[in-house]
Amino acid sequence: MTRQQTHHKKHLCTRQGGATKQNLLVILLTATGILIFGWAMLPQGYHSDTSLIGQGRPAIVLIYDGNNAVSDQLTERFSQVRDEFTPEVEFILVDINAPGGSQFANANAVSTASALFFDSKGKRVTALYSPPEVDMLGKIIRQVFDL
């Protein structure tokens, strides 16, 4: 191999390595942007930490999917009554599309647009599989948790 061919080969490898680093940076920035956008689209005011279940307060876990109209409806209805019950009840949102979300749903044998009710010790008490009307939802929460 001539000196010129060796120089050309070195230059080509350097350019390819630089291009790879550039591609990696673009991919990383794009992924970060998608995660931030996805987080911003989640309903606000909910915890996402399922370790709060069984920590002394009853908890309602909403299994959420932003691509599902019934899931949006369920979340909107809980948002309308949440403030009334927040001092006594933890409201947790599990995004089925986020890491760990589908595993949590599978472990509890539910799908999206479900609400799981856990007592203060973490025992699952009941579940809702469709969004009731807002006034009925308040009654259900009071009855399940004896509030």
Domain count, the chain: 2
CATH, residue 104 = 3.40.30.10
Q: Which two tokens stand for residue 66?
A: 């932003």
Same structural domain, 33 and 56 = no
* pLDDT tens digits along 24-60: 666 665 555 444 444 444 455 566 788 889 999 999 9
Q: Which two tokens stand for residue 135?
A: 């006034």
Same structural domain, 65 and 136 = yes
Same structural domain, 86 and 138 = yes
Distance CA(38)–CA(97), nearest Å, equals 10
Same structural domain, 20 and 86 = no
Same structural domain, 135 and 84 = yes
Same structural domain, 57 and 127 = yes
pTM reported for the whole predicted model: 0.69
Same structural domain, 89 and 135 = yes
Domain extent for 130: 50-145
* pLDDT tens digits along 76-114: 898 898 888 988 999 999 999 888 888 999 999 998 889
User: Is residue 137 a contact partner of residue 81, using CB atoms and an 8 Å limit?
Assistant: yes
